[in-house]
Amino acid sequence: MTRKVFFGTIAFGLVLNIWSDLSVYQVNKIGIGTGEWVNHSYQALQEIDAIKLQVIQSQLEKKAVPNIHSTIQNLGALVSDIPSQKSRASLLAELPDHQFIELGQNKALQILAELNSAGKSLLEERLYHDQEISAEITQRSIFANIVDLFLIFAALALFLYEKKLATRLQKALTSSLAHVESVNQRLQNTLFKRNSKFKIAVHDLKNPLGSIKGFAELLQDEAGNNKSILEMTQIIQRISNNTLSLVGSVLDNDNDNDSDLIPKEEVKVLDCLEETCAFLEPVARNKTQKIQIENGFCDFTFLGSRQKIQDIFYNLIGNALKFSPTGSSVSVGCFDDGNFHAIQISDQGPGFTKNDFSKMFQPGAKLSAKPGAGESSTGIGLYSAKQAMDSFNGTIEVTNNSDRGACITIRFPTNEFEDVRKKSAKRIVELNH
């Protein structure tokens, strides 16, 4: 607002200056006109005086002087713009010569006296009128100058006020930045402490996981030909290995937030899915649930991280089991969807509300559904799966079934493995050349 007032004041001052300059121009114009009029009147009065002298000379010589008529013509030319004087000058020019030499009431001298008196009156009237106009314009110029001074002081006051506000704002910004820096430093310290505690906790997991793996190996040695125990110990070993690998990746600072450094491999997605279902079999058995892989599952190979793909399946199928009631089933199917291989995981739980969809993939978001058997829920599973699918250039879609439960569809790009394989073959050909 202050800035608008400032620029408005400047604009008004410029207009007022133009108006003042026009007034000065008008005064100068009046002065020039008045000077020309005075000079013209002076010449006319001189001609009148010259004719008077010639009339007196004619009276003395008893005859009209030769140049009196030319002088009268000059006078007529000078007063031709003034009707009253022009008529008198014409009357003077029409007088015969004998009237110029009369000694009594000389007609020429009477006319000359009238012309002289009228010329002086007109001159005085013109000077008075011009003085009035000049005085009015002078007052106008003085007013304009006073207003100019006021505007200059107002503009200066506004400038100082703006400068004061800017200084105050700068101090406030400096103080705010210092506060933000202090808060940021405290947050960094807090995050560092929490990160340290987290890494210590993750590091401490290595020992019990190593022990579990060791006991699984001992059990495998003791199991002999008992297939069920061998299968369980093998599952325990694979889970231990995967978990130890995950712990190692968390503790490896060099690979933080850099998915490009994670080694890629050819992953048989069906094998990966079946292994994940085997890991979750004890969880499903505790709630008398079933995990069904539909017949005709489209097996395909994908170039990526087996650990990440298994984490996706583990999170999504684990959530389906967690939020489904006891005795229900979770079905897993596969189909080709254009440029994608799509895998659907469908459960018989409560599904999602409209409010759930707005915060579906936010980290730590608590949705409306509650675990069927009081299990814990962190709100990280869907977020983690979404991040992993994004790193694969894939998609994840969440909908509700028409009758009951939720359906999650994940899509792996079909050309991912083929493109990488073609690039590798091209690279090999180039190296051979």
**pLDDT tens sequence across 279-306:** 888 888 888 999 999 877 777 888 888 8
Query: d(Cα 388, Cα 386) in Å, to the nearest integer?
Result: 5
pLDDT in tens, 70-81: 888 888 787 877
Q: How much is the pLDDT for 296?
A: 73
Q: How much is the pLDDT for 191?
A: 80
332 token code pair: 């897993």
Q: How much is the pLDDT for 256?
A: 46
Question: Which domains, and CATH codes, for the chain?
Answer: 2-164 (1.20.120), 257-422 (3.30.565.10)
Q: Could you tell me if 413 and 302 are in contact, meaning their C-beta atoms sit under 8 angstroms apart?
A: no
Q: How much is the pLDDT for 69?
A: 81
Phi, psi angles (nearest 5°) of residue 209: -65, -40
Partners of 342 in beta bridges: 335, 411
Q: In what order do the strands lie in the sheet with 395-400?
A: 290-293, 329-337, 340-346, 406-413, 395-400
Residue keyed to tokens 């009707």: 83
Closest alpha carbon to 14 in 159, 147, 134: 147
**Burial of 223 from C-beta contacts in 10 A (0-12 / 13-18 / 19+):** middle
Q: How much is the pLDDT for 431?
A: 45
Question: Residue 377 in 3-state DSSP?
Answer: coil
Q: Alpha helix locations (H) across 224-347? A: 227-251, 269-286, 306-322
Query: d(Cα 418, Cα 412) in Å, to the nearest integer?
Result: 13
Q: Could you tell me if 254 and 280 are in contact, meaning their C-beta atoms sit under 8 angstroms apart?
A: no
| Distant-in-sequence, close-in-space partners of 42: CB < 8 Å, separation ≥ 6 | none
Q: Which residues of the chain have pLDDT under 50?
A: 254-259, 419-420, 424-429, 431-433
Partners of 340 in beta bridges: 337, 413
